[in-house]
Amino acid sequence: MAASSVFKAGLFNHKVAIVTGGGTGIGKAITSELLQLGCSVVISSRKLDRLESAAEELTQKIPPSSPAKVTPIQEACLHGRIDFLVNNGGGQFSSPVNMMSAKGWKAVIDTNLNGTFLCCREAYNAWMKDHGGVIINIIADMWKGFPRMAHTGAARAAVDNLTKSLAIEWADSGVRINSVAPGTIISKTAMENYKDIGPTMFKMSVPFSPAKRLGVPEEVSPAVCFLLSPAASYITGATLKVDAGQSLYHSVWEIPDHTAWPPAPEGENTDILREIMDMTKSKL
């Protein structure tokens, strides 16, 4: 049973949600919980076959008495009621910035920042402006920067700020909007995106989690359902980190010892600085 059992089935009866990337990983877990809570969900992304098989699987689990249904679509064409929008679809590839092409940079910014902007704008103009609603933007643990994934770090930080702007701009329409920032969350689909380096990349993250394990999508979806629910009726413009404290702990990134840094200015602290640096070097 999903963690959303803290809420009663039927909590979202007759509500309608759009979950981008709702056919895999975190998006699928969110869709599954929303369906259990009675919400109808439109799932959208690029690969229609994956969306359709997820929809088929999730439909089997909807209780017969529930009004909920799941609809897979390739384009997030928006019409009719949209109570909830979860901007979850996205991702990136790993590359040092100096090796990134402008096209690659733009693809990641388009997917994660521009896509989120467009979905928010369309949902607002089509429905939420006149009827209110709730938006959740899935971002990432980019609080210490995101070395080797700088494009997505920049895009997610921008989405976090967009969330805050929209919380104010759209408050008078009764729209709440918040961000959820997952730590490293393992799923088959998330790992497969990174091909051969996927397992290594996810494994290397484990010691850097205070939990000493990775999270799973079913640990993110309850946070999203909470923020969508009336239990969060006074929360907007907030960012909820679902990362077991990962963002407060060590960075995955090692900086090798080097002597490239500009020297400190000469002055009254020069001698003590040298002494400490010599002691440090002799210990290495």
Ligand X SMILES: NC(=O)C1=CN([C@@H]2O[C@H](COP(=O)(O)OP(=O)(O)OC[C@H]3O[C@@H](n4cnc5c(N)ncnc54)[C@H](OP(=O)(O)O)[C@@H]3O)[C@@H](O)[C@H]2O)C=CC1
Ligand Y SMILES: CCCCCCCCCCC/C=C/C(=O)SCCNC(=O)CCNC(=O)[C@H](O)C(C)(C)COP(=O)(O)OP(=O)(O)OC[C@H]1O[C@@H](n2cnc3c(N)ncnc32)[C@H](O)[C@@H]1OP(=O)(O)O
Tell me how far, at minimum, the Cβ of 217 lies from ligand X, in Å: 6
Candidate list 42, 43, 190, 223; residue touching ligand Y; CB under 6 A: 190
The phi-psi region of residue 18 (left if phi > 0; otherwise alpha if psi is between -120 and 50; otherwise beta) is beta
d(CA 224, CA 222): 5
CB-CB contact of 70 with 40 (8 Å):
yes
**Residue 111 touching ligand Y (CB under 6 A):** yes
Which span sits near ligand Y by CB under 6 A: 7-15, 53-61, 200-208, 265-273?
200-208
Which residue intervals of the chain are DSSP H helices? 25-36, 48-60, 102-109, 115-123, 129-131, 150-169, 188-192, 198-205, 221-228, 270-283
List the single partner that 201 binds among ligand Y, ligand X, none, CB under 5 to 8 Å by kind: ligand Y
114: nearest Cα among 81, 145, 155: 155
**Residue 182 touching ligand X (CB under 6 A):** yes
**Residue 159 touching ligand X (CB under 6 A):** no
Q: Is residue 36 classed as helix, strand or coil in its secondary structure?
A: helix
Q: Six-digit token pair at 113?
A: 């920042």
**Residue 88 touching ligand Y (CB under 6 A):** no
List the single partner that 88 binds among ligand Y, ligand X, none, CB under 5 to 8 Å by kind: ligand X
- Residues at the site binding ligand X, with contacts judged by CB under 6 A: 20-21, 23-27, 45-47, 50, 88-91, 111, 115, 138, 140, 182, 184-185, 187, 189-190, 193
Question: Which chain residues interact with ligand Y by CB under 6 A?
Answer: 90-95, 101, 103-104, 107-108, 111, 140, 148, 184, 190, 193, 197, 201-202, 205, 252
